[in-house]
Amino acid sequence: LGKKLSFGEGFPPRSVAIVGVSRNDDSDVPGYTGLKLLQILRGAGFQGRLYPVNPNASSIDGIKVYPDLTSIPERLDLAIVAVPPAAVPRVLEDCAAARVRNVQICTSGFGETGQDAAIRLEAQIREIALREGLRVIGPNCMGFHIPSVRMQMHTYTPLVEGPVGFVSQSGGHARIYLLRGPELGIGFSKVISYGNALTLDAPDFIEYLGEDSETRIICVYLEGVRDGTRLLEVVKRTNRLKPVVVWKGGLTTAGGRAAVSHTGSLAGDRTIWDAFFRQTGAIEVGSIEEMAEVTMALLRLKPSSGKRAAVLAAGGGSSVATGDICVQEGIDLPALSETTKARLLEFVSLVNQGVANPIDVPSVLTKAPRLKRACEVLAADPMIDMIILHMGAEFFVGPMAGSMAELQKDIAAQDSGRAKPVVIALSDEGQVRETEPYARQLREMHIVAYNSLQRACRALNRFAGYHRFLAEQSRE
Amino acid sequence: LGKKLSFGEGFPPRSVAIVGVSRNDDSDVPGYTGLKLLQILRGAGFQGRLYPVNPNASSIDGIKVYPDLTSIPERLDLAIVAVPPAAVPRVLEDCAAARVRNVQICTSGFGETGQDAAIRLEAQIREIALREGLRVIGPNCMGFHIPSVRMQMHTYTPLVEGPVGFVSQSGGHARIYLLRGPELGIGFSKVISYGNALTLDAPDFIEYLGEDSETRIICVYLEGVRDGTRLLEVVKRTNRLKPVVVWKGGLTTAGGRAAVSHTGSLAGDRTIWDAFFRQTGAIEVGSIEEMAEVTMALLRLKPSSGKRAAVLAAGGGSSVATGDICVQEGIDLPALSETTKARLLEFVSLVNQGVANPIDVPSVLTKAPRLKRACEVLAADPMIDMIILHMGAEFFVGPMAGSMAELQKDIAAQDSGRAKPVVIALSDEGQVRETEPYARQLREMHIVAYNSLQRACRALNRFAGYHRFLAEQSRE
């Protein structure tokens, strides 16, 4: 029943119908209505043609309304379906009649409810879709966010173009990434929320992004997948060309139970997914924050498969924690060589300071010329792959602000030519409110800055792990 | 050489000398000077008598200066020593001659530098201290923060009284806890920063706080300890009466190397410390944030050894993550019983929602009466020990703010009588900037609120684990 359909024809869409646009919204049910979607697309300035469909209206919000899809005077790239569940089968027949290229079903209330009648209804629409060869995104999904054509699935998410593609089984997670990404300097090529995966599934979208020239990094949020073998095969192939970052949700019993009730997915068990990550080399993350944080490193830092860091910090107690955190997050902190120590002691006093690694040197972090010299000494050490500056909000205000401004210029200027990555980790989690503005300022200068040392190390470990995987693959 | 000295006599101090107060500070060396300490104590309004000591001055900052300790006209509870390292032995002889009850040595530049001459100097002052029976806090330490007598070790840390004692080998960590604690509703009885532990060590201070009527919860930051057996014995005994929360720093190679260079401590290995936590039942944490977070639960929640939670959340994708996070952090999320589900479905629709656990119910979280009813249904389920409300900033603004205000009143009113703990976990880490003001507002109403679900679960798991340990002990 049905042949394999690839995704991409008529995408990004230029002619879009929205089926199920009522005159006004008065629903208490959570979720988007057709009218809301029409308003979002018009509000965003969507660069294509919009055709609302409603058999009982001739005009809504000042634009012409069509009674059905076959009455629309051009072939549609996309029909967005936002009618109640029971009306979906009839609309799909209409989509087939109008030869619509892609069908996005927003409507919820299918397999994910766990109720017999709803599961039967999902089986019925699946049968129609397969029989008619419909490329279905959804049901129970939010659809697309494509800054280049000003297409949006949520209100209040900025339209920031960039090289990151995101395939998300959850519209809520897509929203979070769209809000947080730009704060880390991340812009998007195409974001696709696909819900219950009726006919098109994650591998179809990943394959598309793998071939999309606007996409350099592919992020994926998955709950389940129908064809695990195909996912493995597609990610394995794609990840060698573009990094694929995957958050697999629902790996615990409680998370898996929620996945069933969210998108009707069977989440699968940990061992299967461990094998998936080992074989594909995809980068595993556990939240949208982590996804954004490793993406920032992939976007900005020169490829490096080494993970031996030198850490410059301030405060003895913090240095102890610094060492523990780095090691726990998989970053190696080799003891400094005698040569490197001696070169640092030329301008660093040992009173209330230390040149173990982590290097506890408040007097260095507060003076730009000394900091520059310390970075040079450390970068010259062949045992060191990267430098992490661990600093609190106090380094960005008052008398120290000048030093930091100089340092920022210095790091930013060396950006492309720098032999070894320099990353700033703001301390600590509890200070995020104070340090976040400085982090943004640094990121605007294309400096890789994290809100905590833990987050920095976690991202760097994954970043280096990806490049190590590529290096091992190319040796085989 | 020397008998066992217990700590407590002359504490909190009322008569305090500061040895090494110069007329002005012009040092480039990081760390505090005697003059700075004098200014901090006067600025805080210290409720005791201050005696600066400097043989070359008769008055500084408008107060009388003494040439040495024996010239001071009363017996001293505390001498704070802030002279250069080489002058410390002479000052200790003076302390002995003046029969000073406690000696705090701020001066750094001893064993922690790893340099031979400095290690020898530390051995020399240790010998003097043991011979003369001096109770030494330090060297290389910040000393005391005691809100009840307005004694302070740092500028800008608020003097907030409360039932939490903190024994910290690091002055920097003490500072972070003093800044963050009050934001979580935590006030302090006594905070003690003791650095290199020349004669008095962590067990002495823990023993003191165990007997201190103003202290209900004891927090400890340790890098190393001279007498491990005594630490085990003291914590084992104390933890049965008052919870002892311990952050052991330097458990990795890199962290341990930093500990040597910070306080000259040998940090010890993981297996030894695992046994320590197992035998004492002390609550292990890995940062000051975690220390404060479990302390908040210990302060506010009724004792509970169960860790089966019902989680109310909003958004299907988040619910999947919610389930995974809870389980990964050791909190059980049992599937709801058919009775409880049926009672929820009386007022909850399944469209875009779900009553698996986590319970994905935006329409409940946005309406106070529904939320109250849901909490009642869940609290009545004997399989549920606690309720976690997982909500983002959007629940506290606009039309929803009214609901939340009602809910806050409701939870706060039931506070003492509530059968099962209700905790609010604000989502997610990336939103801390937006949610932090709401978290503070909730905490001011004595509602336990965390900045993320992960942090909430981690603290609740430790909280329940402590009470389970006590219950098992009392059965033996």
Kindly report, residue by residue over A222-250, the tens digit of the pLDDT. Answer: 998 889 999 999 999 999 999 999 999 88
pLDDT given at position A364: 80
pLDDT given at position B102: 97
Q: Work out whether strand B386-391 and strand B359-360 pair parallel, antiparallel, or are unpaired.
A: unpaired
- CA within 13 Å, CB half, A233: 5
pLDDT given at position B366: 75
Provide the total of helices (H) and of strands (E) in chain A, helices listed first.
16, 18
What does the pLDDT look like over A131-190, one tens digit per residue? Answer: 999 999 999 999 999 999 999 998 889 999 999 999 999 998 999 999 999 999 999 999
Which chain A residues are Cβ-neighbours of B114 within 8 angstroms? 350, 354
Residue B2 pLDDT level (bands cut at 50, 70, 90)? very low
Nearest to A358 among B254, B356, B436 (CB): B254
* Secondary structure class of A450 (helix, strand, coil): strand
Best residue in B154, B180, B324, B357 for a mutation probing chain A (most A CBs within 10 Å): B324
Nearest to B262 among A169, A254, A319 (CB): A319
> Which has the closest alpha carbon to A400: B180, B164, B94, B30?
B30
> Which has the closest alpha carbon to B246: B234, B255, B256, B257?
B234
pLDDT given at position A1: 41
Residues 6+ apart with CB under 8 A from A415: A300, A446, A447
Nearest to B324 among A28, A249, A360 (CB): A249
> DSSP string covering B131-186, please?
HHT--EE-SS--EEEBGGGTB-SSTT----EEEEEEEES-HHHHHHHHHHGGGGT-
Q: In what order do the strands lie in the sheet with B309-313?
A: B359-360, B309-313, B386-391, B422-426, B449-450
CA distance B15 to A278: 65
- Kindly report the nearest CA distance between residue A182 and chain B, in angstroms: 12
pLDDT given at position B205: 98
The complex's ipTM works out to: 0.72
- Say yes or no for a CB contact (<8 Å) between A324 and B250: yes
Q: What percentage of chain A exceeds 70 in pLDDT?
A: 90
Q: Is the pLDDT of residue A81 over 90?
A: yes
Mean pLDDT of B229-237: 96
Q: Is the pLDDT of residue B197 over 50?
A: yes
- Kindly report the nearest CA distance between residue A471 and chain B, in angstroms: 27
Nearest-Cα residue of chain A relative to residue B171 = A317
CA distance B293 to B110: 34
- Where is pLDDT greater, at B174 or B3? B174
Nearest to A113 among B168, B260, B350 (CB): B350
Nearest to B315 among A172, A251, A263 (CB): A172
* Cα B98 from chain centre: 35
CA distance A291 to B302: 37
Q: Is the pLDDT of residue A472 over 90?
A: yes
Residue B442 pLDDT level (bands cut at 50, 70, 90)? confident
Q: A1: burial class by Cβ within 10 Å (0-12, 13-18, 19+)?
A: exposed
pLDDT given at position B337: 92
- Kindly report the nearest CA distance between residue B87 and chain A, in angstroms: 15
What does the pLDDT look like over B361-407, one tens digit per residue? Answer: 777 877 778 888 888 899 899 999 999 998 877 777 665 666 667 77
CA distance B325 to B453: 7
- Say yes or no for a CB contact (<8 Å) between B254 and A432: no
CA distance B144 to B137: 10
pLDDT given at position B350: 72
Nearest to B351 among A109, A323, A335 (CB): A109
Which chain A residues are Cβ-neighbours of B352 within 8 angstroms? 29-31, 108-109, 140
Structure tokens at A339: 């040569």
- Say yes or no for a CB contact (<8 Å) between A324 and B351: no
> Which has the closest alpha carbon to A107: A143, A55, A65?
A143
Mean pLDDT of A22-41: 77
Q: Is the pLDDT of residue B116 over 50?
A: yes
What does the pLDDT look like over A112-128, one tens digit per residue? Answer: 888 899 999 999 999 99
- Whether the CA torsion A406, A407, A412, A414 is positive or negative: it is positive
> Angle at Cα B389 formed by Cα B383 and Cα B394, nearest 5°?
160
- Kindly report the nearest CA distance between residue A33 and chain B, in angstroms: 12
> Which has the closest alpha carbon to B296: B404, B178, B449?
B449
What does the pLDDT look like over A397-438, one tens digit per residue? Answer: 665 666 667 776 776 665 544 568 889 998 765 566 677 788
Which chain A residues are Cβ-neighbours of B357 within 8 angstroms? 254, 257
Which chain B residues are Cβ-neighbours of A390 within 8 angstroms? none
What does the pLDDT look like over A298-339, one tens digit per residue? Answer: 999 888 889 999 999 876 667 788 888 999 999 999 989 999
- Say yes or no for a CB contact (<8 Å) between B250 and A323: yes
Residue B126 backbone dihedrals phi, psi, to 5 degrees:
-65, -40
Residues 6+ apart with CB under 8 A from A93: A128, A132
Helices A171-180 and A288-300: angle between axes, nearest 10 degrees: 50
pLDDT given at position B416: 45
Structure tokens at A386: 């990267």
CA distance A447 to A469: 25
Residues 6+ apart with CB under 8 A from B436: A433, B451
Structure tokens at B253: 């190679």
What does the pLDDT look like over B42-92, one tens digit per residue? Answer: 999 999 999 999 999 899 988 999 999 999 999 999 999 999 999 999 999
- Kindly report the nearest CA distance between residue B322 and chain A, in angstroms: 7
Largest Cα–Cα distance in chain A? 83
- Kindly report the nearest CA distance between residue A258 and chain B, in angstroms: 5
Largest Cα–Cα distance in chain B? 83
Which chain A residues are Cβ-neighbours of B323 within 8 angstroms? 250, 252-258
Which chain B residues are Cβ-neighbours of A171 within 8 angstroms? 317
Highest mean pLDDT among A288-297, A338-347, A352-361, B261-270: A288-297
Per-chain mean pLDDT for chain B: 88
- In 10 A of CB B115, how many CB atoms? 13
Cα distances (Å, whole numbers) of residue B238 to B161, B174, B470: 22, 21, 12
Mean pLDDT of A41-65: 93
Q: Is the pLDDT of residue B172 over 90?
A: no
Which chain A residues are Cβ-neighbours of B251 within 8 angstroms? 324
pLDDT given at position B200: 95
Provide the terminal-to-terminal Cα distance of chain A, rounded to the nearest Å. Answer: 40
CA distance A224 to A228: 9
- Say yes or no for a CB contact (<8 Å) between A255 and B316: no
Q: How many inter-chain contacts (A to B, CB under 8 Å) are there?
A: 243
Which chain A residues are Cβ-neighbours of B315 within 8 angstroms? 170, 172
Helices A228-239 and A270-280: angle between axes, nearest 10 degrees: 30
Nearest to A322 among B171, B258, B320 (CB): B258
Structure tokens at B312: 């109310």
* Secondary structure class of B348 (helix, strand, coil): coil
CA distance B307 to A91: 48
pLDDT given at position A133: 94
- Kindly report the nearest CA distance between residue B139 and chain A, in angstroms: 12
pLDDT given at position A416: 45
Nearest-Cα residue of chain A relative to residue B360 = A258
Which chain A residues are Cβ-neighbours of B179 within 8 angstroms? 430
What are the DSSP E strand ranges found in A27-158? 49-53, 59-60, 63-64, 78-81, 102-105, 136-137, 143-145
- Where is pLDDT greater, at A372 or B193? B193
Q: Work out whether strand B59-60 and strand B63-64 pair parallel, antiparallel, or are unpaired.
A: antiparallel
CA distance A297 to B89: 52
Per-chain mean pLDDT for chain A: 88
Which chain B residues are Cβ-neighbours of A351 within 8 angstroms? 29-31, 108-109, 113
- Whether the CA torsion B348, B353, B356, B357 is positive or negative: it is negative
A112-130 burial, b for 16+ CB within 10 Å, e for fewer?
Answer: bbeeeebeebbeebbebbb
- Kindly report the nearest CA distance between residue B249 and chain A, in angstroms: 6
* Secondary structure class of A216 (helix, strand, coil): coil
Q: Is the pLDDT of residue B103 over 90?
A: yes
Least confident of A174-188, A271-285, A428-442, B302-316: A428-442
Structure tokens at A211: 């071939």
Say what the pTM is.
Answer: 0.83
> DSSP string covering B33-69, please?
-HHHHHHHHHHHT-SSEEEEE-TT-SEETTEE-BSSG
Q: Which amino acid is at A86?
A: A
